[in-house]
Homo-oligomer: A and B are copies of this chain.
Amino acid sequence: MHSRLTGVLSPVVTPFKPDLSPDPEKLVRQCRWLLANHVGLAVFGTNSEANSLSTEEKIDLLDYLMSEAVPPERMMPGTGCSALTDSVRLTAHAVKLGCAGVLMLPPFYYKGVSDEGLFRNFAEVIERVGDSRLRIYLYNIPPVSQVAITLPLVEQLLKSYPEIVAGVKDSSGDWENTKAYIDNFGAQGFDVFPGSESFLLQGLRYGGAGCISATANVNPAAIAHVFANWQAADADRQQLQLNKVRSIFAKYPMIPALKAAIAHYGDDTSWMTVRPPLVELTHDQQSALVSELNGAGFTMPGLEESTAAA
């Protein structure tokens, strides 16, 4: 049995080849760089363009990561799909490979669905996977999925599957909502990860488990430093630095901006590529982003060596 996931995780951005197929070698290098910077791997998150990948593509990528000895005990792949059967297949595969947890979106096509329908979805996945090693982190991101993980739903799931339902990633952007998960379920060992490092320090002080954040793709060491030193005297100052970097990225469409930064600081323009329906940053946008990041003293130490390591 692995120990629980905790700390800072990154929804690892997915590199694409010119034909828009995923580039597994570059993904491995990015994962290694993140691990070296003390950040865990929430591959196939929203920022991974996971919902622009087929289930087969995700399974192939997971298998490749394993073949390259990326440690499954540091991984929380996203396995919640629109179709129940896809969620079951991907979740079962992740558990079989020994992933420490899975991050599970609710089915996100149908809107206005009931908590009972969502409960049945998660329960079907749990029953069909049928593996006591499964640890599910519910993924609440109503601004994108438009389907929320409500408190009554969590309560019902914890009642039925107390060992399996391990926590939540809250990307509501609403601290009151994050706080409510902790207030209601934290004492039962339910781990609450804010979906942004903006709430990292606040979350840790309140009993949160860390964070799973887009910008951990580009600023991993600094975010992991706040996690490791949250009780230090200068923690608030460090948190302000994190916020400053995040606010620069937040001026752009997030996923293309993350990739533009990796392309620049890793000296590899192929990282600019996104899959439709996303559109990469223009050269001017990338220049403006980099200029502002440089102005803030931002760096990505070790990235260039990492991306050149092929």
Residue of B51, B55, B85, B107 near A277 (CB, 8 A) is: B107
How far apart sit A143 and B111, CA to CA, in the bound complex (Å)?
8
Q: Does A285 contact B (CB under 8 A)?
A: no
Q: At the interface, yes or no: A53 with Cβ under 8 Å from chain B?
A: yes
CA–CA, A279 and B276, complex, Å: 32
CB of A54 within 8 Å of the partner chain: yes
Q: Quick check: A54 and B85 within 8 Å, CB to CB?
A: yes
* Chain B hits for A53, CB < 8 A: 83, 85
Q: What per-residue 1/0 map shows which CB atoms of A98-117 lie under 8 Å from chain B?
A: 00000000111111011011
Chain B residues with CB below 8 A from A84, complex form:
20, 52, 275-276
Interface string of A64-105 (1 = CB under 8 A from B): 000000000000000000111110010000000000000000
Distance A114 CA – B278 CA, assembled complex (angstroms) = 8
The listed residue (B110, B276, B279) touching A278 by CB distance below 8 A is B110
A115-168: which have CB < 8 Å to B?
116-118, 120-121, 124, 143-147
Contact at B82–A116, with CB atoms within 8 Å? no
Which residue, of A55, A84, A89, A121, has the highest number of chain B Cβ atoms within 10 A?
Answer: A84
Residues of B within 8 A of A107 (CB): 51-52, 276-277
A57 at the interface (CB under 8 A from B): yes
Q: Interface size class for chain A?
A: 35 or more
CA distance A56 to B83 in the complex (A): 11
Alpha-carbon distance between A56 and B106 when the two chains are bound, in angstroms:
20
Given contacts A20-B84, A146-B146, contact A277 B54 (CB under 8 A): no
Closest to A108 in B: B109
Give the shortest distance, in Å, between A137 (CB) and chain B (any CB).
Answer: 18
Q: Is the CB of B111 within 8 A of A278?
A: no
Cβ B277 vs Cβ A144 within 8 A: no
How many angstroms between the C-alpha atoms of A7 and B52 in the bound complex?
A: 33
Question: Which residues of A are at the interface with B, using a C-beta cutoff of 8 A?
Answer: 20, 46, 51-57, 82-86, 89, 106-111, 113-114, 116-118, 120-121, 124, 143-147, 275-279
> Top 3 A-B pairs ranked by shortest CB distance?
A51-B109, A121-B276, A117-B277
18 residue pairs bridging A and B, Cβ less than 8 Å apart:
A46-B109, A51-B109, A52-B107, A52-B110, A54-B86, A54-B89, A82-B109, A84-B275, A108-B108, A109-B144, A111-B144, A111-B146, A116-B279, A117-B277, A118-B277, A120-B276, A146-B146, A147-B277
4 A-B pairs besides A20-B124, A118-B276 with CB distance below 8 A are A46-B109, A52-B110, A117-B279, A147-B277
